[in-house]
Amino acid sequence: MDQVKQITVIGQGYVGLPLSLSFAMNGVSVIGVDSNEKIVDELRRGITYQTEKVGELTIREILKAQTELGTYQVTTDGAAAIRASNVIILTVGLPIDENGNPIYTAFENACTAIGENLQPGSLVLVRSTVVPGMTETYCRPILERLSGLRAGDGFFLAYVPERIAEGKAFDEFVTMPTLIGANDEKAARFAEAVIRINSTAEIVHSNSIIAVETAKVLENLQRDANIAIVQEFARFAEAAGIDTFEVIRLANTHRRVQLLSPGPGVGGYCIPNAFHYLNAKAREVRVPLPLLSLAREQNASIPVFLVEKTAAYLSAGGKNLNGSRIAVIGLGMKDHSPDDRLSPAVEICREAIRRGALVKAFDPNVSANYPYQVKTLEDACRNADALLILNTIAPGFDPLAEADVLSDSAVIIDTRGIVDPVRLPKSAIYWKI
């Protein structure tokens, strides 16, 4: 029963692609399925914009090698892949609309395809982050109705949250402890056999699927609230003339304290959405979440706050944001990241442009080709009235490498606390978050 024969991974995004390749590298035959034809076409041609690595080996090289070996195939034909596999892993996303409500379309389509093609004895592993309760109250009924099979008997169902951080995927599949939520023994053992293909870390079981789903959401919420704390603290520290980063460095020497750093805001798919996943369930059970809601609002307000800060500093130097040239370093949702989903940096650019600024942003990791994206740091910085340092592009990246082409009295907004003030151009006006 728990012999893994062939794995289908539904969704070939930031999680699904490296997960598929990680299994393939361990000798298991994997079919990656994605409904986006462009992604499938590019993957077939060996193209991905992800920057994951195993040692010095890039994900592109791994993709090429596993495709040539035949251990990895990719297709838009989910039906055939699911019929040919006895393990189906779901990694599609659950986006949030502008009113904070989950959009279930991708999930519904994926569950429908699985349900219609599921073979008896197969395992369905949900790895996406979900509204607590979704595996059993949303996925399971679709799978059972369309397959005519029952979970725990005709097929097996488990929830295994993905906990990797982008950029560390291949390493963290192996080393990050994994949670398995399953409410029957056979599903739990089958899921463990799948996880053991590429993991040497601790595996923690729970027979409460909803507890595992909620734990995943809470892990992300903890980071959102932690960042909100340091962002609020940073406003206080600035007014009191205390260095925020120095305080955090000192406080973190306490073994039970782990403060994160303030920055340009919180982006990416996982952390900003976590509140909305929990809130969808909280609304159902009629419980308000005032603290978590405030933390989310606090983090969501940072991009506008930073544009206002830039405007105020420009104005102190006799310039208007409207018409000023703004150089932006970093468009990804975090350092070194090609992922621009819900990126605060993109929001900062949008807001500055809305207020009449002439933005040029440099980030070679991001492949989106925004109209204001430029290819060199020098192009972004030339004659700029303000330089916004939002992330660090690559290890060892020097945000001041082209500072000598900035305009006189340029405003330098350092959201990462990484500039050495000794290296600032003489006329620069410097602000650190």
Ligand X SMILES: NC(=O)c1ccc[n+]([C@@H]2O[C@H](COP(=O)([O-])OP(=O)(O)OC[C@H]3O[C@@H](n4cnc5c(N)ncnc54)[C@H](O)[C@@H]3O)[C@@H](O)[C@H]2O)c1
Query: Could you give the CA distance from residue 370 to residue 399 in angstroms, rounded to a whole number?
Result: 20
Under rule CB under 6 A, residue 162 binds ligand X: yes
The whole-angstrom distance between residue 352's C-alpha and the CA centroid of its chain comes to: 24
Query: Could you give the CA distance from residue 96 to residue 102 in angstroms, rounded to a whole number?
Result: 4
Burial grade of 433 (CB within 10 A; 0-12, 13-18, 19 or more): buried
Under rule CB under 6 A, residue 11 binds ligand X: yes
- Using CB under 6 A, which of 75, 109, 293, 409 touches ligand X? 109
Cβ of residue 14: shortest distance to ligand X, in angstroms?
3
Under rule CB under 6 A, residue 272 binds ligand X: no
- Using CB under 6 A, which of 106, 146, 193, 353 touches ligand X? 106
- Using CB under 6 A, which of 36, 258, 376, 383 touches ligand X? 36
- Using CB under 6 A, which of 89, 270, 366, 412 touches ligand X? 270
Whichever of 155 and 173 has its CB closer to ligand X, that residue is 173
Cβ of residue 30: shortest distance to ligand X, in angstroms?
14
- Using CB under 6 A, which of 7, 10, 209, 389 touches ligand X? 10
Whichever of 341 and 432 has its CB closer to ligand X, that residue is 341
Region binding ligand X by CB under 6 A among candidate stretches 87-95, 183-191, 257-265, 323-331? 87-95
Tokens standing for residue 195: 């996880």
Residue found by looking up tokens 């690595």 in the block: 53
Under rule CB under 6 A, residue 6 binds ligand X: no
414: helix, strand or coil:
strand
Q: Which of 279, 292, 266, 272 is nearest to 345 (CA)?
A: 266
* Residue list 230-269, contact with ligand X (CB under 6 A): 269
Query: Could you give the CA distance from residue 115 to residue 140 in angstroms, rounded to a whole number?
Result: 9
Cβ of residue 111: shortest distance to ligand X, in angstroms?
8
Cβ(349)–Cβ(303) below 8 Å:
no
Binding residues for ligand X (CB under 6 A): 10-16, 33-36, 39, 78, 91-94, 106, 109-110, 128-129, 162, 164, 166, 269-270
